Amino acid sequence: MWYYVQGVLALAMINVISVVGLAVFTGFTGLFSLGHAAFIAIGAYTAAISTYFYEVNFYVALLLGGLMAGLVSLIIGYPTLKAKLRSDYFAIATLGFGEAVRVILENLDITQGARGLPGIKVYSTFPVVLIVTLIVIYVARNFVFSRYGRMAIAVREDFTAAEMMGINLFKVRLRSLFFSAVCAGVGGGLFAHYISFIQPSMFTGVQSTMLTAAVVAGGMGSITGPIAAALIFAAIPEVLRVANMWRLVAYGFILVAIMVLRPQGIFGYKELSWKTFSGLVRKTSRAKGGAA
Amino acid sequence: MLLQTLVTGLAIGGIYALMAVGYSLVFSILNFSNFAYGAIIMLGSYIGYFSLVKFGVPFPVALVLTMAGASLLSFFNERIAYSSLRKRRAPSLYFMISAMGTSIFLENMVYATIGSSFMAYPEIFKQQSIRILGSSIGLLDLFAIIFSFVSIYVLHYFINNSRTGIAIRAASYDSMITQINGVNLSRLIGLVFVLAGALAGISGIFLGMKYMAYPTMGWITNKAYIAAVIGGLGSLPGAVVGGIILGILESLVSVYIASTFRDVFSFSLLIILLLFMPAGLFGKYLEEKV
């Protein structure tokens, strides 16, 4: 039983890594990416190919995957962000980028095309995944609370005003995109070495949309909210194993319902912290005291 | 050979144009990317399939049924997923997410209920082809070209000459002032979604005849967004031009380079074009409203 829970948790945490990256990008700059599965794919393939064909150390391979995803994000990010595309255009450009990456992966020799790479060694054990996830969350937290994070928030709230305050829009956005792509790449590397088989059809636009869904449902502009949402999203299908087909139907429904009923997301702009919990405890105890 | 490629490109380009016009129409009024549009087209394709196969109605009736069904879906899509956002004056980001949710919902609803198998349309247009100027063109393609352009022209005429059309154009310019001048904006937006749904129905049935109906037709409806962005979001002539350019480019790449890289080329075209013309060819929305 514990073995099974561990497996579910490990996949959930791998998902969390990419979601945290995207939370930093979408939640803090307000730009929408529909192609982040491509960065996961690039990270997964780079790391897998490094350990599979070149027998690189696993941790080095993870970093390489993250770095490669980051570099590729500059290729798409530099021109599109430089041109200051409005968010719809940017979303569609990333959508196209994601599809293009998948087509290229399907047609390269080293990725073995659509057949995929089987037999990748399983290095992503539960403790490894846990530690990497914690590191990523810690770095993301520092990123958000740093000067860069504050600049990103300013850009999201009102980019014209932010620009007038002397913030370089392009730099802030590109930096956030780079960071999120590195996270996605690392997540992809872990993923490849966890389930030991990857093929291009695993990294579709649906996955990109799911990542964005987790960020939105968790609350844009929060780190802990999307983490909680990503964990919940990963846990629900396991609980409702029978309703596997209806899982995505429910996701779509939840997404619309959140937008209609609670557009700030489950947690809004707030961060979950010990304070939230202690606040909750205090409220409930006070309520009890009042009743007595 | 070249002429043949151009004609094939024009046939698929016509369908792209049809999809892009419907998508751009919604954009011009509500100023957001309706990502649910692809799912409406996909469902239109299924409605066409079921009315032709299960109910065995003749093609013109099936076409009308499909248009009506897709219009209805599109209308309810707006009423359920967007209208409360609209009343709250939510930023366009929220509309986009809501649209994405609708798209995921509808697509997977089809998966869960109908299944993922490919539904082949019965043969309505015989596989014969006509020879024009030394190149052969399939009857289906010819009909698709003619019908796409006729329906786009009808829409164009409606928007430019009817009172409602004037109201739509006015609302795409400034919806607030239009409302002050006595236009019922909520009804107008409903009508715009019905019109877009009708176009989705037509393109759905043609796509179904050309490529069969299946839940993930989304990859081809993505082309509608790309065509609309190439032409400039919100511009109807732009959407037509974008659709045709995309269709012709794709058939040129398929024939002269490699069909596997067709999509890579269309996406690269999109990105390169946006670098030089960030608003697309005929776009008027360069910056977002703050």
pLDDT in tens, B193-222: 999 999 999 999 988 888 888 887 767 778
Chain A residues with beta carbon closer than 8 angstroms to that of B229:
88-89, 92-93
Q: Which residues of B touch A86 (CB under 8 A)?
A: 285-288
Nearest to A85 by CA among A209, A26, A169: A169
**Domain CATH number, residue B183:** 1.10.3470.10
Query: Among residues 12-51 of chain B, which lie with CB inside 8 Å of chain A?
Result: 27, 32-33
**Minimum-distance CB partner of B287 among A86, A246, A259:** A86
Residue B290 has pLDDT above 50, yes or no: no
CB B192 within 8 A of CB B26: yes
pLDDT score for A31: 83
pLDDT digits (tens, 9 = 90+) for A49-82: 998 888 888 899 999 999 999 999 998 888 888 8
CA angle B76, B81, B83 (to 5 degrees): 85
Q: B87 in contact with A at a CB cutoff of 8 Å?
A: no
Nearest CA in chain A to B87: A260
Range of the domain at A190: 1-289
Confidence of residue B69 (pLDDT cuts 50, 70, 90): very high
Residue corresponding to tokens 């021109």: A79
In a domain, B177, yes or no: yes
Q: Which residues contact A103 (CB under 8 A, 6 or more apart)?
A: B260, B261, B263, B264
Per-residue pLDDT of A96-125, as tens digits, reads 888 888 888 888 887 787 788 887 888 878
Termini Cα distance of chain B: 50
Please answer yes or no on whether B271 and A96 come within 8 Å at the CB atom: yes
φ, ψ at B250 (rounded to 5°): -65, -40
Closest-CA residue in chain A for B277?
Answer: A83
Does residue B288 form part of some domain?
no
How much helix, strand and coil, in percent to the nearest 5, is found in chain B?
Answer: 75, 5, 20
Tell me whether residue B284 is in a domain. Answer: no
State how many domains chain B has. 1
Contact A96 B222 (CB under 8 A): yes
Domain membership of residue B100 (yes or no) is yes
- A248 CB neighbours in chain B (<8 A) are 104, 107-108, 111
Distances (CA, A) of A103 to A37, A96, B152, B171: 13, 11, 32, 40
Residue B153: how many CB atoms within 10 A of its CB? Answer: 11
The pLDDT assigned to B68 comes to: 95
Query: Which positions in chain A touch B24 (Cβ < 8 Å)?
Result: none
Check which CATH number belongs to the domain holding A45 and give it. 1.10.3470
Residues A49, A52, A54, A56: is their CA dihedral positive or negative? positive
- Contact (CB<8Å) B105/A253: yes
Does B84 lie at the interface with A, CB-CB under 8 angstroms? yes
Residue B260: inside a domain, yes or no? yes
A100 contacts in chain B (CB < 8 Å) = 263-264, 267-268
For the beta carbon of residue A81, count every other beta carbon within 10 angstroms: 22
CA distance to partner chain B, nearest, from residue A281 (Å): 33
Closest residue to A100, CB basis, from B32, B225, B267: B267
Helix pair A36-53, A205-218: axis angle to 10 deg? 120
Number of folded domains that form chain A: 1
Domain that includes residue B211, residue range: 1-118+139-276
262-281 of B, contacting A, C-beta below 8 A? 263-264, 266-268, 270-271, 274-275, 278, 280
Q: How much is the pLDDT for A290?
A: 45
Nearest CA in chain A to B94: A259
- Inform me whether the pLDDT recorded for B162 exceeds 70: yes
Instruction: Assess if residue B128 is contained within a domain.
Output: no
Most confident by average pLDDT, A110-119, A124-133, A254-263: A124-133
Q: Helix axis angle, B2-30 relative to B218-231, nearest 10°? A: 80
The residues pairing with A198 across neighbouring beta strands, listed in sequence order, are A117
The answer to whether the Cα torsion of B221, B225, B231, B235 is positive or negative is: positive
**A237 within 8 A of A250, measured Cβ to Cβ:** no
